[in-house]
Amino acid sequence: MQMTNMKLSIEEKKDMDAPTLVADRPAYPYGLRINLEPEAVKKLGMKDVPSVGEKMMMLAMVEVVRIEQEKHMDDTPEYTVSLQITDMELSKGKPSGDDRDASEVLYGSKES
């Protein structure tokens, strides 16, 4: 699999409409950041809090850019994790050699 780096070039940053210095403009295009709220963090089974700057795989390369921790009255911490997509690949069709449909890949075979 060959992922494409999505970082904006200096020229792409210059073309942005915002009246800011090129150095202050975002490194990646709008919409490539994912925020995982506490419910999603729990659902994914993330027991250890990642560090900002740590790389993780998600069918795309992402970088942890922010961690927010909130403690409740019962001292149970909840985390919100913000991920910046840095590299990704999009392709049509199924992975080579895989004859299953998408629902079978995600949810397993219907046969017991």
34-38, 55-59, 100-104, 107-111, range with the lowest pLDDT:
100-104
Contact (CB, 8 A) for 86 and 28: yes
| Higher-confidence position of 11 and 91 | 11
> Which own/partner pairs from 2-7 qualify as long-range (CB within 8 Å, at least 24 positions apart)?
2/89, 3/60, 3/61, 3/87, 3/88, 3/89, 4/87, 4/88, 4/89, 5/86, 5/87, 6/32, 6/85, 6/86, 6/87, 6/88, 7/86
pLDDT at residue 1, rounded to an integer = 64
Minimal CA–CA distance to 82: which of 33, 47, 49? 33
Mean pLDDT of the region 97-102: 56
Minimal CA–CA distance to 82: which of 27, 36, 28? 36
Contact (CB, 8 A) for 4 and 87: yes
- pLDDT 10s digits, 29-54: 777 778 888 888 887 787 888 889 88
pTM of the model as a whole: 0.48
Mean pLDDT of the region 96-103: 56
